[in-house]
Amino acid sequence: MTQITDFIPQYQEVNVIFSRFLESEKFGFEEQKNITHFYNRYKDVKLFEKMIFDIIFSKDSRREKMLLSSIKFEIDRNITIYETGRRYFDEIEMENVNDDAAVKYLEEIEAQVRVTNQCGAEFLKVAALWENCFNLHGIDHESWEKYDSLLEKHHTEIERLNELYRKHKAVMEEAKEYEENMFRPIYELSKIFLSIIQKYMHVEGEQPQSNIKQMQVEHQKQIQEVKQSYEAEHRKQSFSADGAVCSLKEDKEGRFDLRIDGVSHHSWFRRKKDEFMEALGLPTSRRQNRGLKL
């Protein structure tokens, strides 16, 4: 069973490959194999989600926080690297990458062909001399040993050449399994990982976007409740103006004054205030002015 402690180092290696290619365009057949294996191993996102569940229910909050933070760091890193060099990642031709492995064996094959041919030429030369000596003088033990040694050496070099041909054929067959550009699929997989982990983790110093929106809605709701409460309380203490007659009166300077029941609105509200204060048993401006002689 795949463990999260295996997943994180593998993800880190994938990001190293992504980063190295973006910095130096270094990307070979082995790197292609590594990232393809990673994608094939985790493309079933249920496996990733199960690993997250295992972390959350481990009852070790410190370990949970550390692992989730490490995973999210690698996810964010992969997404950032790909989006930074998207064009370069998408345009890489995997045929050229796979040819690197084939070229490696072709070079070795060419070198081994030269060695094998040289050994064969030496063997044929000694074989011709040995045949002449045998016809003239019978068996020459020294010539026979040299002949036998070169024959064995030639067979060894031929076997080495055949082994290189077998490896070349095998790698060409293997290369067919790695012809797809895996940079974008891994990037898309990382975005799925991110959506999964955001459902279950709380990053210190951050709030998931859905939580932020919910908090904003709740905050506005609280403000509205306070406002409604205030307005309701204010209405309880408001003055009744039922039956009052309002009019506008222009003074000599052309200014208008609002008059209620024939008096200035200032006087009208002051009178209503005094009535309200008297109803509460509190001192009013009229009581305070009764003792004054004007």
Backbone angles phi, psi at 254, to 5 degrees: 85, 10
Name the DSSP letter for residue 243. T
Q: Between 44 and 60, name the one with better pLDDT.
A: 44
What pLDDT does residue 230 have? Answer: 44
Coil, helix or strand at residue 163: helix
Name the DSSP letter for residue 293. -
Q: Which residue has the tokens 């463990």?
A: 3
Average pLDDT of the chain?
A: 76
Q: Between 12 and 142, name the one with better pLDDT.
A: 12
What pLDDT does residue 188 have? Answer: 97
Coil, helix or strand at residue 2: coil
Q: Between 260 and 49, name the one with better pLDDT.
A: 49
Q: How confident is the model at residue 20 (pLDDT cuts 50, 70, 90)?
A: very high
Give the model confidence (pLDDT) of 190-243 as tens digits: 999 999 998 876 544 444 444 445 544 554 565 465 455 545 544 444 445 556
Given a cut of 60, whether residue 173 has pLDDT beyond it is yes
User: How far, in Å, CA of 139 to CA of 148, rounded?
Assistant: 13
Give the model confidence (pLDDT) of 152-171 as tens digits: 887 888 899 999 999 988 88
Name the DSSP letter for residue 280. T
Q: Which residue has the tokens 């045949």?
A: 131
Of the given ranges (69-78, 126-135, 154-163, 254-263), which has the lowest mean pLDDT? 126-135
Number of other residues whose CB lies within 10 A of the CB of residue 21: 20
Structural contact between residues 29 and 97, judged by C-beta atoms closer than 8 angstroms: yes
Given a cut of 80, whether residue 45 has pLDDT beyond it is yes
What pLDDT does residue 206 have? Answer: 45
Helix ranges, the chain (H): 4-24, 29-42, 45-56, 61-84, 86-91, 94-137, 141-175, 183-200, 209-236, 265-279, 285-289
Question: What separation in angstroms does the CA of 10 have from each of 2, 15, 16, 90, 281?
Answer: 11, 9, 10, 22, 82
265 contact partners, CB below 8 Å, separation of at least 6 = 257, 258, 259
Structural contact between residues 160 and 112, judged by C-beta atoms closer than 8 angstroms: yes
Please name every residue paired with 247 in a beta bridge, in sequence order, or none if there are none.
259
111 contact partners, CB below 8 Å, separation of at least 6 = none
